[in-house]
Amino acid sequence: MGIALAFPIIFLLIILQTTIAGQITLLSGSTDLVLLWLSAWAIQGRVKSAWFWAILGGVCVAFISAIPFYIPIISYSATTFFARMINKRVWQSPLLMMFVVTILGSLLLYFSSYAAMTVNGISMSWKTSLIEIIIPSTLLNLFFSIPMYAIVKDTAQWAYPLEVNE
Amino acid sequence: MKKIPARTWQSITIGLIIVGVLTLALSGLLGQFIGKAINPLVSVQAWFSSRVQAVVEFFTVPRDVASLRQENAVLKNEVSQLQSELLQVKQQLTETDILYALLDYARTRPENKYVAASVIGRDPSPFLNYIIIDHGSDDGVLKGMPVVTQQGLVGRVAAVTASAARIQLITDPGSIINIRLEEAKTEAQVTGSVTGDISLEMVNPSVNLVQGDLILTSGLGGSFPPDILIGQLISPQLEENALFQRATVQPVVDFVNLRAVLIITNFKPVDYSPLIPD
């Protein structure tokens, strides 16, 4: 069920990302809906297909975006790894866990994007990138992580209902 | 004396009454008399009628409210449908305006062949300024082709699939375009940035940069055709001991509200990679 659900939801998220979410900007930063969904999905204890979602999301974004293909795949996979790791430690406070994973995932995605583009010969001011893109995008991700967590939690409960032992 | 029978008295009485009534009717006093006699009846009738009307309304008015509500809902639905149609028409009108503007531009440059495409998305990465359009290699779009609007240069095709293409905007940090300044009669480069601003680079310090000077593609490098408008020079900056002058540029294209573009399909960018030494 979780794997079958991955395709329509990832495609829908990418459509929303390229059409609407990209227009909601803070300075030059924008939110990453795929990252938020994958973070929230991975911290749901009952979800068993988080790695598949991370790889699929990474591949789809790599196909759409002009960013080097390995950046979204590595970033989303690493975010899933963080989420899975943290899930076993601070499970009592899921929203706090969502914030931690969002911050870690966002910073990893944006710093790795900056590094990859610089290595590829694109000249970008470090200070401008930090102030105009990395920090605003991370803040926007934190802002949108709350509603995204609620949506993902409901979806996970629907996709993986708890078994009742009589 | 003969006794007058009772029947005769009755006849006389009836006759007198008839004569009296006729006299009253002819004299106009009968109406007043009848009015005075009927008034109490009319009052009773009115009282009874008002009570009956109240009872009838008690049963029928709730039905009227329900039917009015239903009718109101139908009308509201109709209004929302009409508003939706109006929005669609406005949208189509805007698209038509854009397409007419693009068509006018294409007519002014008959030497070029164009493919018009709609913008359907933007790159998910905030570091990059790319757009996605709804035409690809099936429509004759190839990598490297220049992209313009009626206002000026938009960018170039960076990647193509069968039905879509990704366009690198001139505001992208990886974009470098060879340009010429109309008034200053010199050549330089325009580069993009992560913030979406474009700036003029590599200008000889001896050149006198004039605010408002037009910036056009020079055609050098073979990536773009010459003489496509890019923008206007805003604020020249010459730092002491700097090798080159810089300036900020106001692009003519509104990249935020970009809805449709034209791809110049008969321009083939020059591939000079074999000339670059290993």
What pLDDT is recorded for position B63? Answer: 65
In angstroms, rounded to a whole number, what is the distance separating the alpha carbons of residues B260 and B268? 22
The model's confidence at residue A151, banded by pLDDT at 50, 70 and 90, is very high
- With a cut of 60, say whether residue A166 has pLDDT above it: no
- Interface mutation vs chain B, best among A122, A123, A132, A133, most B CBs within 10 Å: A122
Could you tell me which chain B residue has the CA closest to the CA of A34? B124
- Identify the pLDDT of residue B217: 92
For the CA atoms of A60, A63, A68, A70, the dihedral, rounded to the nearest 10 degrees, stands at 40
- In this complex, the residue of B122, B127, B158 whose CB is nearest that of residue A113 is B127
pLDDT above 70: percentage of residues in chain B = 97
Q: How confident is the model at residue B129 (pLDDT cuts 50, 70, 90)?
A: very high
Q: 3-state class of B234 per DSSP?
A: strand
Quote the pLDDT of residue B62.
65
Which candidate from A61, A123, A132 shows the least CB-CB separation from B195? Answer: A132
What residues pair up with B231 in beta bridges, in sequence order? B215, B251
CATH architecture of B114-145+154-168: Beta Barrel (2.40)
Q: Where are the domains of chain B?
A: 114-145+154-168, 176-269
Residue whose structure tokens are 């979800």: A47
Q: Is A135 helix (H, G, I), strand (E, B) or coil?
A: helix
The yes-or-no verdict on residue B51 having pLDDT over 60 is yes
Domain boundaries, chain A: 2-156
DSSP secondary structure string for all residues of B218-268:
--GGGSS-SS-EEEEEEEEE--TT-SSEEEEEEESS-STT--EEEEETT--
What percentage of residues in chain B have a pLDDT greater than 90?
29
Confidence class of residue A111 from pLDDT cuts 50, 70 and 90? very high
CA distance A164 to A156: 17
How do residues A18-47 score in pLDDT, each as one tens digit? 888 888 888 889 999 999 999 999 988 888
Q: What is the ipTM of this complex?
A: 0.90
Neighbouring C-beta atoms of residue A104, cutoff 10 Å:
18
Q: Which fold has domain B176-269?
A: Thrombin, subunit H (2.40.10)
Length of chain B: 278
Closest CA to B125 of A53, A72, A16: A72
| pTM as predicted | 0.74
pLDDT by residue (tens digit) across B154-196?
A: 999 999 999 899 999 999 999 999 999 988 888 999 999 988 8
Are residues A50 and A40 in contact, defined by beta-carbon separation less than 8 angstroms?
A: no
| CB-CB neighbors (< 8 A) of A133 in chain B | 126-127, 194
CA B119/CA B260 separation, integer angstroms: 6
As a whole-number percent, the residues of chain A with pLDDT over 70 amount to: 95
Mutant choice from A59, A124, A131, A141 vs B, greatest count of B C-beta within 10 A? A124
DSSP 8-state symbol, A131: I
